[in-house]
Amino acid sequence: MAAIGIPSRNGAAPRRWRRSEPIGPLDYGRRLWLRLSVGAVLLFLYVPIITLMAFSFNDSRRNIVWNGFTLKYYEKALNNDSLLLAFGNSLTIALISTIFSVLLGALAAVVLWRFHFPGKPSYEGAMALPIVIPEICMGVAMLVFFARIGWPANMPWPLNLSAIIIAHISFSFPFVAMVVRARLVNFNRELEEAAKDLGASEWQTFRDVLIPFMRPGLVAGGLLAFTLSLDDFVITFFTSGPDTVTFPVKVYSMVRFSVTPEVNAASAVLIVVTIALTVAAMWLQNRAGKRNS
Amino acid sequence: MDTRKPIISIRDVTKRFAGTVTAVDQVAMEIREGEFFALLGPSGCGKTTLLRMIAGFEIPTEGEILIDGQDMSHVPPNRRPINMVFQSYAVFPHMNVFDNVAYGLKVTGVPKEQIRGRVEEALDLVKLGGFGTRKPDQLSGGQRQRVALARALVKRPKVLLLDEPLSALDAKLREAMQLELVRLQHAVGITFIIVTHDQNEALSMANRIAVMEAGKVRQVAAPAQLYEYPNCRFVADFIGKMNLFEGQMTGVAGERVVIEVTGLGQVLLAAGDEQVTTGGQVGIAVRPEKVRIERAQPGTDRVALRGRVSEVAYYGDVSYVFITDDSGRSISVNMQNEARSTAQRVKIGDELWCSWDPEDTLLLAR
Amino acid sequence: MEHWRRSPLVFWATSLPPTFWLVAFFLAPLAIVWVLSFGEKQGLIAIAITWTFDNYGRALNALYLEIFAKSMWMAAVTTFICLVVAFPVAFAITFAPERWKPVLLLLVILPFWTNLLIRTYALIAVLRTRGYVNFTLEWFWDQGNWLLTLLGLGEAQLLGERFEPLTLLYNNFAVVFGLVYVGLPFMVLPLYASLDRMDRSYIEASLDLGASQFRTLFTIVIPLAKAGIISGVIITFIPAMGSFLTPDLLGGTDSQMIANVIERQFKSANDWPFGSALSFILMYATFFALALRAMLSKSGSAMEAG
């Protein structure tokens, strides 16, 4: 390592003691003001969320000064029947819409990846529309649609959630298609050809070769669709009714009318669930990417 | 003795990364004004890191770098009188050729009236006159390199650095570019420093070469000196081909040392600068082109070895003949195919003598 | 890629379900809205399609035009702030050690995955009169007063008679703040993707030729990251322009954006034809922005190949 006070050779200037490597001209990642900006932005992004979660444990209605740790608002949230019902609805909707989204999205991805057909660019554009369109436009379209075709109301649970489910599928499956398509780009067609060469039929090749390869994309797409459905507000707001309330819609009305730590508790739960799912999705995709490439 | 002044002095420079990887280890050398200097070595030897420290993109962990007498170790790259041609050329894709070459003049405040003249002069120098309005994506790789050269030379730096300038070019273009770079250096008259892993490039272009290995400089010398008088096995092996024999020093005979090599008997060599002690292990080597093959036994004034031809590698202008002796040791001999029939004179299985003048033997103590 | 006629059975089997769904449950609803925008209310529920342009005409009168303009203006301000804030962050992540990059990216993206409603709600606690910002400012005010008293200047009330909290909520400031808060992760990713792909030799070449770091940033780095900047701007601008929740929860009566007006037409005001017209105008504005982006990136796409 560096030494202090040792006479140098050739009459050059004595060595200076440095704690670490000097910062080079392209070493931007080590410059102080860039590090501070990143820190400030991360702080800006996380402080509101973290304080919201922290204050869900605060024993005070006013929500600003810390008054002691308590779990009572979590208790209240758990005992709030309408909140629980809303959460149940959200989960059901998310589950069903995810299944259909993954199915439709996978099929769409395969078509776009494998086939060349007239009007393909327009088809791709149409597939991208639900992703690009402002949410409120889609919400309006769904509301108008179900009203004008006279979608039956007052159906038993879970059928009464069908309008919401259909709307969710419509906006999620293009996202799934996008994710699966990104995965398919890396597929080596020779695998398919080898299977056919060995005698497999079209369907068998699809089932035994293509689907296993697509799986990480399907899982990632599925988790994406699930999260999008669970978190959706605007589109659900337009397609839900007083008896088909979902969790975000319920939280919205709670926020609109009162600001209680109960809302914080409910929100904290939703945050944790969403983050856990996201991290799981990313970890799965990462692992599959490493294994297969 | 070269009395030109040193334009770059590298004084005990060390560069460590992340505290553990030592890329450059106590390198000290001087590069003289007007030289065509080469940093040569295998990948990972530290030559590129050293070049980047001269350019200013890395800062030495220890030691100093003096440019024209001034310590510039901590001066940022945009304030050094040095310019670099990057391995990927780095020609700005969003500017045309003229703007690329003019860039360095513009950002240092050269008056507009002067810029046009100097840019055109630089483009003519690299034979790209009239290409000013073209965009980089319309140029070939070789043309883009010349834009990068013009861009650097228009600033009239004291030293021009080139990072592996020929590695991206195909064989024919590479040969042409080797001559071109030397011509340019003479035309402009400044110091050129190139980094390369290709010994042929270094030998043919440079006035002096520094051979590096694992962060250290092994030898700095002119090409002929490096080739004929390498100071260690690494240099002897890296530059050119050689046949290496292990031996032991058994004594001194006048001004020569006596090396005993199994199969060769005793070899008497001039010791030169090498430090060898009686009883010590040394390596001796001979380059393939110095070895003569013949059917009759050579005289006792030559070092000789008898064996059987095991392989002939034919390259058109030259053949490498591999002769294996009874102990299984192979020696490669370079045979110039001076006449059409030359290559056919030697066939696999022939019993032949290889011999060389002891003066042509390399003594390699380390 | 094979032509569909080579395996027509497979083609139809795989393409029919998603196509059917897209047409029946997305394109058809949009078409109905489009038709409705040419309709007229006939009483409380009935709507007659008279193919009139009245709704569009009404949308273009001063009041609504102003709201459109305001929505675009707020979206533009939001996008600009996001760009200026996200650029150093994307830059820092690009040049961070390899081990840290995925972590930093994950940290920046994670808030995007939490519910928009909750994130916006969290900002209320921050921006309220009795919220965190004002709370902190009041603390500083108290400390300042204490210091002044210590210096013997207590009587002068230099900092004012009492602490005046800043009105940070239920106004345009809060809406922009909320939109920036929500949009920032959207801006970082494309910027990072573009900067990461850039050959560092360009920066080194620029410095080597004598340009300062600042000059290099503006003449070399930003032009070469153009594609990423355009992407980021578009995917921040469009959702900001059509945003509903943020102005609804954080805005005041004069901070209404276009999405709030549309919502009102379908809930309280019950004027579906007008709401449909407004929806379509918003969609046309969105498509216009996308077309602009396609045009801009095509003209600059040759640069990426450098």
Please list the rounded mean pLDDT of every run of 10 residues in chain A (293 residues): 40 46 78 88 88 78 69 78 85 93 94 89 89 90 88 77 92 91 84 82 84 85 87 89 85 77 79 80 69 52
pLDDT (0 to 100) of residue B253 = 79
Helix (H, G, I), strand (E, B) or coil at B224: helix
pLDDT (0 to 100) of residue A7 = 44
Which chain C residues are Cβ-neighbours of A62 within 8 angstroms? 130
Question: Domain limits at C179?
Answer: 55-129+167-304
Position C20 in a domain:
no
Cα(A256)–Cα(A80) distance, integer angstroms: 17
Nearest to B14 by CA among B289, B216, B255: B216
Cα(B148)–Cα(B153) distance, integer angstroms: 9
Q: CB atoms < 10 A from the CB of B227, how many?
A: 18
Chain C residues 221-260 with a CB less than 8 Å from chain B: 223-224
Position C45 in a domain:
no
Cα(C156)–Cα(B187) distance, integer angstroms: 78
In this structure, chain C runs to a length of 306
* Mean pLDDT of all residues in B32-53: 94
Position C44 in a domain:
no
Position C263 in a domain:
yes
Which H or E run contains C117?
helix C116-127
CB A22, CB A30: distance < 8 Å: no
| pLDDT of C305 over the 50 cut | no
Q: Are residues A54 and A95 located together in one domain of the fold?
A: no
Cα(C88)–Cα(C81) distance, integer angstroms: 12
Which chain B residues are Cβ-neighbours of A27 within 8 angstroms? none
CATH number at residue A249: 1.10.3720.10
| pLDDT of B168 over the 70 cut | yes
Position C136 in a domain:
no
CB C300, CB C226: distance < 8 Å: yes
B76 interfacial to chain A (CB closer than 8 Å)? yes
Which H or E run contains C250?
helix C245-250
Q: CB–CB of C306 and B108 under 8 A?
A: no
DSSP A59-77: S-SS-SS---B--HHHHHH
Contacts of B41 (CB under 8 A, 6+ apart): B47, B197, B211, B212, B213, B238
pLDDT (0 to 100) of residue C21 = 94
Peptide bond just before B230 cis, omega within 30 deg: no
Q: Which residue has the tokens 């809302």?
A: A263
Model confidence pLDDT, tens digit, residues B324-362: 988 888 899 999 988 888 878 888 998 999 999 888 888
B83 interfacial to chain C (CB closer than 8 Å)? yes
Q: CB atoms < 10 A from the CB of C298, how many?
A: 9
Q: Is the ipTM of this complex over 0.90?
A: no
Model confidence pLDDT, tens digit, residues C23-36: 999 999 999 999 88
Helix (H, G, I), strand (E, B) or coil at C196: helix
Q: CB–CB of B103 and C206 under 8 A?
A: yes
Nearest Cβ partner of A24 from B18, B57, B62? B57
* Mean pLDDT of all residues in B7-20: 89
- Boundary (domain end) residue, out of A36, A70, A104: A70
Position C171 in a domain:
yes
Nearest Cβ partner of A12 from B11, B16, B59? B11
Chains A and B: how many Cβ contacts under 8 Å? 36
Q: CB–CB of B135 and C224 under 8 A?
A: no
Which chain C residue has its CA at the smallest distance from B163's CA? C201
Q: How far apart are the CA of C196 and the nearest CA of chain B, in angstroms?
A: 16
Nearest to B120 by CA among B137, B98, B136: B98
Contacts of B194 (CB under 8 A, 6+ apart): B36, B37, B38, B39, B161, B162, B163, B164, B165, B181, B201, B202, B205, B206
Q: How far apart are the CA of B146 and the nearest CA of chain A, in angstroms?
A: 25
| pLDDT of B196 over the 90 cut | yes
Which chain B residue has its CA at the smallest distance from C211's CA? B107
Residue spans of the domains in chain B: they are 6-237, 242-364
CATH architecture of B242-364: Beta Barrel (2.40)
Model confidence pLDDT, tens digit, residues C102-142: 888 888 888 887 888 888 888 888 888 777 788 788 888 88
Position C156 in a domain:
no
Nearest to B205 by CA among B231, B177, B230: B177
B118 interfacial to chain A (CB closer than 8 Å)? no
Q: Which amino acid is at B158?
A: K
Q: Quick one: CA dihedral A49, A51, A53, A55, positive or negative?
A: negative
Chains in contact with C, where contact means 3 or more Cβ–Cβ distances below 8 Å, are A, B
pLDDT (0 to 100) of residue C86 = 93
Nearest Cβ partner of B107 from C201, C215, C302? C215
Q: How far apart are the CA of B277 and the nearest CA of chain A, in angstroms?
A: 30
Q: CB–CB of A144 and C36 under 8 A?
A: yes
CB A118, CB C15: distance < 8 Å: no
Q: CB–CB of A29 and C88 under 8 A?
A: no
Candidate from A10-19, C199-208, C277-286 with smallest mean pLDDT: A10-19
pLDDT (0 to 100) of residue C303 = 45
User: Could you give the number of structural domains in chain A?
Assistant: 2
Model confidence pLDDT, tens digit, residues B276-315: 777 788 888 999 999 998 888 888 888 888 899 999 999 9
Pairing between β-strand B256-261 and β-strand B265-270 as defined by DSSP bridges: antiparallel
CATH architecture of B6-237: 3-Layer(aba) Sandwich (3.40)
Q: CB–CB of A111 and C107 under 8 A?
A: no
Q: Which amino acid is at B200?
A: N
B18 interfacial to chain A (CB closer than 8 Å)? yes
Q: Which long-range contacts (CB under 8 A, 24 or more apart) does C264-268 make?
A: C266/A140, C266/A143, C266/A238
Nearest Cβ partner of C211 from B78, B84, B87? B78
Question: Domain limits at A231?
Answer: 75-292
pLDDT (0 to 100) of residue B191 = 95
pLDDT (0 to 100) of residue A4 = 40
pLDDT (0 to 100) of residue A72 = 78
pLDDT (0 to 100) of residue B81 = 93
Bridge partners, residue B282, by sequence: B247
Position A147 in a domain:
yes
Position C151 in a domain:
no
Which chain B residues are Cβ-neighbours of C224 within 8 angstroms? 92-94
Phi, psi of B315, deg, nearest 5: -115, 15
pLDDT (0 to 100) of residue B138 = 93
Q: Are residues A38 and A144 located together in one domain of the fold?
A: no
C41 pLDDT tier (thresholds 50, 70, 90): confident
Average pLDDT taken over every residue of chain B: 89
Position A58 in a domain:
yes
Alpha helix positions (H), chain A = 32-54, 72-79, 81-114, 120-132, 135-148, 162-184, 189-197, 202-205, 211-231, 234-239, 247-257, 261-292
User: Could you give the number of structural domains in chain C?
Assistant: 1
Q: CB–CB of A10 and B71 under 8 A?
A: no
- Boundary (domain end) residue, out of A70, A98, A124: A70
Cα(C240)–Cα(C179) distance, integer angstroms: 6
Contacts of A129 (CB under 8 A, 6+ apart): A174, C26
Q: Are residues A125 and A42 located together in one domain of the fold?
A: no
Cα(A164)–Cα(A244) distance, integer angstroms: 9
pLDDT (0 to 100) of residue C293 = 82
Q: Are residues A42 and A163 located together in one domain of the fold?
A: no
Bridge partners, residue C17, by sequence: none
CA B8 from centroid of its chain's CA atoms: 18
Position A136 in a domain:
yes
Nearest to A132 by CA among A183, A184, A174: A174
CB A35, CB C102: distance < 8 Å: no
Position A212 in a domain:
yes
pLDDT (0 to 100) of residue A2 = 38
Reading the block at residue A186, the tokens are 């890396």
CATH number at residue C192: 1.10.3720.10
Nearest Cβ partner of C117 from A45, A173, A251? A251
Q: Quick one: CA dihedral B107, B113, B118, B124, positive or negative?
A: positive
Cα(A78)–Cα(B25) distance, integer angstroms: 66
Distances (CA, A) of C74 to A122, C114, C171, C179, C247: 32, 23, 12, 9, 11
Cα(B48)–Cα(B45) distance, integer angstroms: 8
